[in-house]
Amino acid sequence: MDIEALKTFMVLANTKNYTRAASQLFVAQSTVTNRIIEIEKELGISLFRRTNRKVELTREGEKFRIYARKVIELTEASLAEISSSTRFDNHLRIGSADSIYEGHLAPIILKYQRENPRDSLKISIGLTGNLLEQLQADLLDVVFTYLPLKKSAYHSELYKQDKLILVTDINNEKHKNGITEQQLMGVNYLMCNFALQEVGQYIRKLFPKFYQFELEIDDCMKIVPFLLGQDNYTFLPKDMAEHYISQGKLREIPLLDFETPVINSYIIYKKSVGEMCRRIFM
C-alpha cells in the first residue's frame, strides 16, 4: 500500500464519485478503481458501498480514513522536513491557538525570523484539542494552547496569563461608565469559545441555562468584525484587545460588580527542541 493509493482513497472519500476523483487526480478512472481494489484486497475489507451514482464509506472505511489522513500528513511533514534540512540550519513546526498567536507570538516570531533567516519556521493556527493531537502525532514540534499536557515525553509549562475584558465598538456609548452582571443579560452579547478551560464555562454561567447567543464562534479573531460599527459586546483577552483599543476601534467596558477569571496559556514542546524553543519564546 503506497502513499498514492492512500491519497486516491482520500479523494474518492471526499468526492464520492469515481469520475470526479479521477479528474482531480489527473488519472484514468480505471486507475482509481484498481488502487481502491488493491487496498481492499490487502486489508480484507470493503471500504465503500457502491450505488448507481456515488459511493459511500462503510464503517470500516470511516475508520480507515482516520488512519490514511494521519499517514499522509506524517509522510508529507517528514518529506518537507528532510527537504528543508538541506536549505536551513534549523526547522521548527509551531502550532498555536489564534488568540495566543495574535496576542503574544506574532511579534516574537517576526523578530526571530528577520534575525535568523537560516532557520525555517512553519506556523499552524488551530484549536487546542487539534494542536495537542498534532503534537503527539509528530506533526508539530511546539504548541501554544489553553490546556497543559502532562506526558513525560513533552515539556509543558505556563506561558502567559491574560486578563479577560469586555469590549464593544468605540462609538457604542452604552455602559460607558461600567456594567453590572445583571445588565450584561440585557446587551447583545456574542459568544467566543476560544478557551478550553474554566473561562469558557464561566462566561456561559453568566447567562441563563441553555441561553442562545446571536452569534457563537470558536475563534476570537473572527469575532472582531462583528463588533465594529455595531452595539455588540464580547469578552476578549486583554493583550489581544489592546491592538484594537489602541487603534480607536474598540473600547473596554469596566465591570462594576463582578470579575473575570485569568486566562492561562501554555507552551508545550518535544524535549528534543527545547533549546530552540527557549531561545525563541522564553
Q: Which CATH architecture has domain 164-261?
A: 3-Layer(aba) Sandwich (3.40)
Side chain identity, residue 103:
G
Which pLDDT does position 197 carry in this prediction?
59
Burial class of residue 161 (count of CB atoms within 10 Å of its CB; 0-12, 13-18, 19+)? exposed
pLDDT value at 199 more than 90: no
Grid cell digits, residue 163: 486578563
pLDDT value at 142 more than 80: yes
pLDDT value at 183 more than 90: yes
pLDDT value at 103 more than 90: no
Which pLDDT does position 195 carry in this prediction?
55
- Equal fold, 88-160+265-281 vs 164-261: yes
How does pLDDT run across 205-241, given as a tens digit for each residue?
899 988 899 999 877 778 999 999 999 999 998 988 9
Under the banding of pLDDT at 50, 70 and 90, the label for residue 51 is confident
pLDDT value at 196 more than 60: no
Report how far residue 146's alpha carbon sits from residue 130's, in angstroms, rounded to the nearest whole number: 12
Which pLDDT does position 105 carry in this prediction?
94
Which pLDDT does position 85 carry in this prediction?
60
Q: Which residue has the higher pLDDT, 178 or 196?
A: 178
Sequence-distant (6+) residues with CB within 8 A of 41 are none
Contact predicate 253/168, CB 8 Å: yes
pLDDT value at 187 more than 90: yes
Average pLDDT, the chain: 90
Report how far residue 5's alpha carbon sits from residue 185's, in angstroms, rounded to the nearest whole number: 55
Contact predicate 255/84, CB 8 Å: no
Which pLDDT does position 41 carry in this prediction?
92
CA angle 49, 50, 51 (to 5 degrees): 125
Which pLDDT does position 193 carry in this prediction?
74
pLDDT value at 249 more than 90: yes
Provide the CATH number for the domain formed by 3-82 in this structure. 1.10.10.10
Provide the CATH number for the domain formed by 88-160+265-281 in this structure. 3.40.190.10
Report how far residue 230's alpha carbon sits from residue 238's, in angstroms, rounded to the nearest whole number: 20
For the chain, give every domain's residue range: 3-82, 88-160+265-281, 164-261
pLDDT value at 46 more than 80: yes
Least-confidence region, from 16-30, 84-98, 163-177, 237-251: 84-98
Q: Which residue has the higher pLDDT, 191 or 1?
A: 191
- Average pLDDT of the residues in 102-109: 92
